[in-house]
Amino acid sequence: MESTLVMIVKSIVIFAFILQIVPIILLAERKLLGRFQSRIGPNRVGPKGLLQPLADVFKLLSKEASAPATAVPWMMAIAPVISIVTAVATLAIIPFGPFDAWGGEFGLYGIDVPIALLYFFAFGSLGFYGLVLGGWASGSKYSFLGAMRAAAQLISYEVALGLSLLGVAMTAGSLSLVDIVEAQDGMWYVVPQFVGFCIFMVAGFAETARAPFDLPEGDAEIVGGYNTEYGGMRFGSFFMAEYIEVIVISAIAAACFLGGWHGPGPVALAPLWMFLKLMAGVFFFIWIRASLPRLRYDQLMSFGWKVLLPLATLNVLVTAFVLVAT
């Protein structure tokens, strides 16, 4: 068991890691989006544009947190907090290495909860409350539309997301992410659970509310959706929560399907492999964003209910049959 001191140090490390990684991903996204569109991307601030995220954050910090007269100010203030707290909380369960990878009495993860997947779903759904609450409390029609979309999107995808990971949980015989990764020593679950992986990625895109499922934001038709009325660092918090969720979904995908920390080389390299897989997931998110247009509202709903949900259920059933038969 780990001592309290180790727990405190680990939580600080996780916080530091995420606060460092988000600006890097922000810059990487803008640079990559540029390349995907035959552009260069930001290159004015600092050498090669490396200080661009810093400039963005300074800009956001210097902005006023205004609210419309029809808004409910205290709700508007806590909505981004809900979003970011739930996003950061999920990071605690991401495993970066086994218990004694670097020697000593600690594992390279925040906590190894026996119900890690449920924990992930719980906080993922709670994160949407931030969007819904923020959109509703803004007291503006566009924000409200965005909030409604967020709610509809959540119920369309959450079930498929859960069922897609159920196959993995059944195969590994555990809900703990550490156990799931350790069960993938021989073969990554992306092979036997390929359908589950596809469903998880699609539903994961919906979960993070990013393109092509960025309907709650929908800048083309409903201005900015739930964050229309937000400015300054409140908007920044929503923005950051979105990126942290991208990291979380990529990390869960890496841990549940891509073998987590497994890779060639000594076990001390485990965090490196996990990190590389995570970054590959993030790259995929950016790639998809550069490629696919936003879905229409009814298309999204019918896709979620008529395609993903039956497919995920079928995947679970087949997995169960195979497990019982063998």
Partner 1 sequence: MAWDPEKDVVKVDRGPEPGGVGAIYRVFGETLRGLRTTFGRVAEGTYTVEYPEEKTPVYPRFRGRHKLHRFEDTGLEKCVGCSLCAAACPSKCIRVVAAENTPEHQVSAGERYAEVYEINMARCIFCGYCEVACPFDAITMGNDYELADYSRSDLIFTKEMLLADPPEHTPLRREGE
CB of residue 245 to partner 1, shortest distance in Å? 22
Residue nearer to partner 1 on the CB measure, 34 or 271: 34
Q: Which 299-318 residues touch partner 1, going by CB under 8 A?
A: 307
From the list 47-55, 134-142, 290-298, 317-325, the region that binds partner 1 by CB under 8 A is 290-298
Does residue 290 interact with partner 1 by CB under 8 A?
yes
Tell whether residue 280 is a contact of partner 1 (CB under 8 A). Answer: no
Both tokens of residue 88? 């950061």
Q: Residue 21 Cβ, how far from partner 1 at the closest point, in Å? A: 22
Does 37 sit near partner 1 (CB under 8 A)?
Answer: yes
40 binds partner 1 (CB under 8 A): yes
Return the range that interacts with partner 1 (CB under 8 A); candidates 6-14, 53-61, 174-182, 289-297.
Answer: 289-297
From candidates 36, 129, 275, 297, binder to partner 1 by CB under 8 A? 36
Q: For residues 24 and 290, which CB has a smaller minimum distance to partner 1 in the complex?
A: 290
Nearer to partner 1, 52 or 171 (CB): 52
Task: Establish if 59 lies at the interface with partner 1 (CB under 8 A).
Answer: no
- Taking CB under 8 A as the rule, does residue 16 contact partner 1? no
Number of residues that bind partner 1 (CB under 8 A): 15
Q: Does 39 bind partner 1 (CB under 8 A)?
A: yes
Q: Of these, 6, 50, 195, 288, which contacts partner 1 (CB under 8 A)?
A: 288
Applying CB under 8 A, the residues found at the interface with partner 1 are 32, 34-40, 43, 287-288, 290-292, 307
